[in-house]
């Protein structure tokens, strides 16, 4: 598999992991940090903005996972590169959200 496909799947996992907290917050009616907040990435955006941001991330994940090359759930390279991107970004989100929330408390 070409390295470009592995990189695309890695970032597909990143975008998928980024979509989840924003989608959950938006559907729950809770504000959450987005790049559109004031200040960016630190202020809170409305639930509607979070749903929009989640949908953008889901589209990006779809394009990178499904439209770039072929994603095969039986391929260890496809799944591991996607899982690595997802896992690393999920950990980064957890650290960032904790850091921001602990400063506000």
Per-residue pLDDT of the chain (105 residues; tens, 9 = 90+): 789 999 999 999 999 999 999 999 999 999 999 999 988 888 899 999 999 999 999 999 999 999 987 888 999 999 999 999 999 999 999 998 898 888 766
Q: Both tokens of residue 95? A: 């650290």
Identify the domain containing residue 91 by its residue range: 3-104
Domain count, the chain: 1
Quick one: which H or E segment has residue 93? helix 76-104
The whole-angstrom separation of Cα 18 and Cα 33 is: 11
Contacts of 34 (CB under 8 A, 6+ apart): 22, 40, 41, 45, 49, 50, 53
User: Helix, strand or coil for residue 44?
Assistant: strand
């Amino acid at each position: 598999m070409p390295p470009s496909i592995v990189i695309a799947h890695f970032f597909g996992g990143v975008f998928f992991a980024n979509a989840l907290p924003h989608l959950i917050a938006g559907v729950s009616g809770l504000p959450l940090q987005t790049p559109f907040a004031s200040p960016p990435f630190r202020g809170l955006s409305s639930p509607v903005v979070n749903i929009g941001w989640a949908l953008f991330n889901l589209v990006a994940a779809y394009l990178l996972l499904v439209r770039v090359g072929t994603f095969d759930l039986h391929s260890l390279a496809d799944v591991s590169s996607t899982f690595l991107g997802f896992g690393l970004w999920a950990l980064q989100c957890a650290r960032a959200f904790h850091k921001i929330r602990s400063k506000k408390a």
